């Protein structure tokens, strides 16, 4: 089974920013939620 991929933003939010901008050609949805 493929390992679950959750990117930590503990050191920097840059991975989220890069993901957001790399999908600029698409509609984007961002949710900020608690897991419980």
Residues 2 to 31 in contact with another protein, rule: CB under 8 A: 4-10, 13, 15-17, 19-21, 23-31
Which among 28, 2, 11, 3 is positioned nearest to 19, based on CA atoms?
Answer: 28
Q: What whole-number distance in Å separates Cα of residue 30 and Cα of residue 2?
A: 24
State the Cα angle at 26 between 23 and 28, rounded to 5°.
80
| Minimum CB distance to another protein, residue 5 (Å) | 7
| Minimum CB distance to another protein, residue 12 (Å) | 9
Which residues contribute to the site for another protein (CB under 8 A)?
A: 4-10, 13, 15-17, 19-21, 23-36
């Amino acid at each position: 089974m493929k390992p679950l991929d959750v990117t930590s933003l503990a050191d920097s939010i840059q991975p989220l920013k890069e993901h957001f901008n790399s999908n600029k050609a698409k509609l984007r949805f961002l949710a900020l939620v608690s897991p419980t």
